[in-house]
Structures are given as structure tokens and as C-alpha cells.
Amino acid sequence: MKILVTGAAGFIGSHTAERLKAVGHDVIGVDNFSPYYNIQLKELNAKALAEKHIEVLKLDLRTDDLSSKIPENLDYIFHFAAHPGISNTSTFEDYCSNNILGTQRLLEFAESLSQKPFFVNIATSSIYGLEATFPETTTAKPASWYGVTKLAAEQLALAKSREMKLQATSLRLFSVYGPRERPDKLYTRLIDCALNNKPFPLFNGSEKHLRSFTYVQDIVDGIISVIGKEVICNGEIFNLGTETESTTAEGISTVEDILKEKINFDKKPPRAGDQSRTKANIDKARNLLNYNPKTDLRKGLEAQVEWFKKNFK
């Protein structure tokens, strides 16, 4: 099958593109190489994809002419491209234009094709709000610009399904970590601070936060399990993540133990919109997609530490 992956130079998008290629699909990637974080990391990811014969086109979903740059006859679109996370340096316009406008323009492009691709929207547990422990039928209560705009993007995709203009599904991902994790996220930053004697910015109370820390390859397992299950997945939302909960403090301790280094902390006030608890309820994904994440936190972090040392130490 011919598959388009947006945000292909990013963390989870790059891993998904690689896996799709490895199982025999024709994969085309697009990314706008946003400077939200160090572009060198995205270029490193794109280089790794190029070595596996996956082209990543530089393209902005918000402004570029998609029909002139993206080939037709697509079977699937996996839509990762977004303005991520919770950042004090990002504006509402950043989230709105990337997550809502970009998604809408991509949906319009997909709808314009004579062969309509199946659209997989990549969403987030932030849609649930300050606690994300619920099944997919629970009312969304996002508490950040990121969560609000990702909910809007999800509903844009599912609206196309309800209108029977496209087949679409949305996957809500929980606390993904592993090799290629963004430098602003927890574990890459912890590893960097430990190895390079930098203070880690610890938001007050965050060490007690509970998370479904999910290894990236377990997430990719769930993402690609949609293929071949179009009838089951069309119009549906699925949680993807591990049911195992760990505190941020446990994650910090695991990194310190792997590296045999202590991390110094720079205490910060609590961060608005930060989730206090995520625990993936994956009953639906387990039953309908045969989804079963298996990687424990230490094993996943050992792989992430190895990746970091190879590329940045």
C-alpha cells in the first residue's frame, strides 16, 4: 500500500514510517521542520529514514499546495504533524494553526482525491484533561491549548467519517518515550541533564504525577494495527498506551540507576495544564485491535539512553 505519514521527521512519526516500510509498504513522509525544537534532531531522523529509502518532503500543511506536492493514489494517511506539548513560549495561534488549520487542509486534500485514503488521526491523552484514566466514551475535558486544539483536530477527522466523505479513526496516545524523544520531553531531558551535569527543571508536585509511560515501539504496534481493520476502526477512537502506572519520581530514579549518575534539580512553580495522572484504559484497543504493549519502563529507558549516547554524548 502507498501510505503518507505527516510529521515524519518527528519522534513517533519517524518510528511509524520505518515500521510501515519494514513490513512492505510504500511510505512517503512530509514534515515542515518547525523550529519548535532543534531542527538538527529532525534532520537526524530524516536522514535515518532516507537510509531506509523513505523520502521526507519539506511541506507545511497550513500554507503549501498539497495537491502539487503529495502523490495521489494513497491508501492511508497517518497524521502526526502537530504543534506539541505544553510550552510557555508557544502562542494559541501556534497551536491553532498547526493542529486545527493544518489538519483541516490535509482532510480537504484527502477528500479531493479520487481514491479516498483511510485517515488515521494521531491524538493525545491530553484531550481527557488533568486526569486521563478513562474509556473513549468519556466526555473530553482538555485543560491546555494543546489538548483543546488536538480535540478539535480529532473531531474534524471524525466529522468526515460521520459525513461519509472519508473513513477515519483517531488514536489517543499516552506518555510516549524512547529513542528520538523530543529534547523538551521528560526522559531525553533527564538523560541530558544527568550526562552533562545540567540542572533539570522540576515543576513543583510533578514528581508525584502518575503516567502511563509507553515505549514508542509498543505505541507503533497499536498504530499500525489499524491497517486491515478499516470497517472496525472507521469513526472510532482508541486509547493506546500501557496500563502500568509509574510516578515521575520513579522514572527519574530509573534513569539515575541506569546511568549511575545523580540528577540536580531546579525547582519551578507548577505548570498550568499539566496532567496529574494518566493511565491508559485500553480495553477497546485490546479487544478490537489485539493491542498488548509489553515493554517495561527500565528496558525502554535503557534503549533510550543507548540512543542518546550514540547521537549526543
In degrees, rounded to 5, the angle at the alpha carbon of residue 243 between the alpha carbons of residues 239 and 248 is 105
Are 156 and 204 contacting, i.e. CB atoms less than 8 angstroms apart?
A: no
Nearest partner of 198 among 188, 206, 211, judged by Cα: 188
99: which 3 cell numbers? Answer: 493542529
Is 146 considered catalytic here? Answer: yes
Q: Which residue has the cell 506539548?
A: 85
Phi-psi region of 252 (alpha: psi -120 to 50; beta: other; left: phi over 0): alpha
Q: How many C-beta neighbours within 10 Å does residue 141 have?
A: 14
Q: How many C-beta neighbours within 10 Å does residue 256 have?
A: 14
The residue from 36, 76, 128, 146 that is catalytic is: 146
Give me the helices (H) in the chain, please.
11-22, 39-50, 66-69, 92-95, 102-112, 145-162, 186-196, 216-224, 230-233, 248-259, 283-289, 297-312
Nearest partner of 8 among 45, 52, 63, judged by Cα: 45
**Catalytic residue numbers, as ranges:** 146
